[in-house]
Amino acid sequence: MKSITLIIIMSLFAYMPGKAATGDVLRDAEPVHRALKAVTDIMVHDIYSPPVASRIYAYVSVAGYEAAVPADQRYLSLAGQLHSLQPAPSPALGKPCDFTVAAVEAMLVTAKALVISEDSIERFRLQSIQEFRKRGITEDQLQQSLVYGDAVAAHILAWAAKDYYRESKSLPQYTVTEDDASWKPTPPAYMKAIEPNWNKLRTMVVDSAPAFKPAPAVTYAADTGSVFYKNAVAVYKAGLQLTAEQIDIAKFWDCNPFNLNVRGHVMFATKKISPGGHWINITRIACEKMQAGVLQTLEAYAWVAVTINDAFISCWDEKYRSRVVRPETFINRFIDEAWTPLLQTPPFPEYTSGHSVVSMAAATILNKLFGQSFEFLDASEMEFGLPARNFSSFEAAAREAAISRFYGGIHYMPSIENGVKEGAMLGLFIAAKLITRK
């Protein structure tokens, strides 16, 4: 085990660029950032669950990266590295191609096929084409670039069609049982369990869904001397004495795509980005701070997105294996029937904490790409009315995201602690395995 860890650590230090690649042939990454932000906005509008959003980010980001790779011989394709991904089509020989245009086209065409609001994506795509025209690109070069981008998108979508996502929808859904230990729907919406078969999907880098299976969940017990009961009491007491800072942290990392508000007889939803969307935006912040060019930006998005994708598959595999009941359900029955958590309880089992797994996995990848002491101002939640927060590193942000779930009253502490470990190991594995630079 020590030798494996040493190899992983050495590979991290062997790669870390820490700054934008010098001489990047494609400098202006703003069209790429805008394209992925448009996809995020549409996913917020369409209300995708965190796992589904992670899948969309992964395919869109890989499409953009694969379309741009031929522009710079220093970068390597992800074909043969991501499970079942074959080499993408090459641009036509002797034909002019703008690889930024091709990458944006590949991203948006891929996204259009994966979201509900296809028309919104198409409108943005047409606007992007007009903006590229204003930059002085010739019509011949534009059309050749679009044709190539479309070919890459078709290639990625054919790959996506075989990841078992569609088939998983026809599998048996979660059945609520009478035993006290298993997850039950929670107020106010009492929504059914989300994506109980997510572990059936093809991973992109890790070997399988249970490859990073965490330590077993604490054994359920309702007697007051049990470890499970004491963990619930800790959540309960924390919720009664939250500081202003803890409340701010919990709300900042809420990332609930569908928060149901109840005002008397009126119910309405508040939409936000998913946990994966938050880390995709942190990736943008890092790229912009480092003035990364198009290829380095697409590389960062692809690395983070495929990691988030596999992190959700890993986490959901454990959630529906252990099926742990949420603190709100347990506390209301055995401790205080009037208690409510600060945050709305998500509609899926408790163990492990998704934010903990995904955040630490993403932070581990960003450590590799930008360094372990990367300071940044995270303004991801400002558009949702929350102030920006400063972080001294990606890991510091990930650990705050993890503990926010305890402050929010939706996770027991072991779920957070073991989720952080699960995410770190998964992230280290991916960081050691993928190679995108010669």
298-311 pLDDT, tens digit per residue, is 999 999 999 999 99
244 pLDDT more than 90: yes
**27 band by pLDDT with thresholds 50, 70 and 90:** confident
159-214 pLDDT, tens digit per residue, is 999 999 999 999 999 999 999 999 999 999 899 999 999 999 999 999 999 999 99
Residue 187 phi, psi dihedral angles, 5° rounding: -70, 160
% of the chain exceeding 70 in pLDDT: 92
Q: Distance (Å, rounded) from C-alpha 370 to C-alpha 367? A: 5
> Per-residue pLDDT averaged across 275-294, rounded?
97
19 pLDDT more than 90: no
Q: Distance (Å, rounded) from C-alpha 105 to C-alpha 116? A: 18
pLDDT for the residue 246: 98
Burial of 364 from C-beta contacts in 10 A (0-12 / 13-18 / 19+): buried
Taking alpha carbons only, the member of 358, 419, 360, 363 closest to residue 393 is 363
225 pLDDT more than 90: yes
- Residue 268 makes CB contacts below 8 A (sequence gap 6+) with 260, 261
Is the separation of the CB atoms in 367 and 406 below 8 Å? no
**6 band by pLDDT with thresholds 50, 70 and 90:** very low
pLDDT for the residue 25: 56
282 pLDDT more than 50: yes
403-414 pLDDT, tens digit per residue, is 999 999 999 999
Q: Distance (Å, rounded) from C-alpha 352 to C-alpha 346? A: 13
Is the separation of the CB atoms in 102 and 152 below 8 Å? yes
41-58 pLDDT, tens digit per residue, is 999 999 999 999 999 999
> Per-residue pLDDT averaged across 269-276, rounded?
86
The whole model's pTM is what?
Answer: 0.94
CA distances from 355 to 253, 332, 359 (A): 8, 24, 6
Amino acid of residue 308: I
145-155 pLDDT, tens digit per residue, is 999 999 999 99
What is the average pLDDT score of the chain?
Answer: 93
% of the chain exceeding 90 in pLDDT: 88
13 pLDDT more than 50: no
Residue 166: CB atoms within 10 A of its CB come to 10
93-113 pLDDT, tens digit per residue, is 888 899 999 999 999 999 999
pLDDT for the residue 241: 97
Question: Domains (ranges, CATH) in the chain?
Answer: 24-165 (1.20.144), 182-433 (1.10.606.20)
Residues forming a β-bridge with 269 = 260
Is the separation of the CB atoms in 387 and 400 below 8 Å? no
31 pLDDT more than 50: yes
pLDDT for the residue 269: 66
pLDDT for the residue 14: 37
Q: Distance (Å, rounded) from C-alpha 16 to C-alpha 38? A: 29
Taking the CA atoms of 315, 316, 317 and 321 in sequence, report the sign of the dihedral they define.
positive
pLDDT for the residue 263: 65
> Per-residue pLDDT averaged across 366-387, rounded?
96
**262 band by pLDDT with thresholds 50, 70 and 90:** low
342 pLDDT more than 80: yes
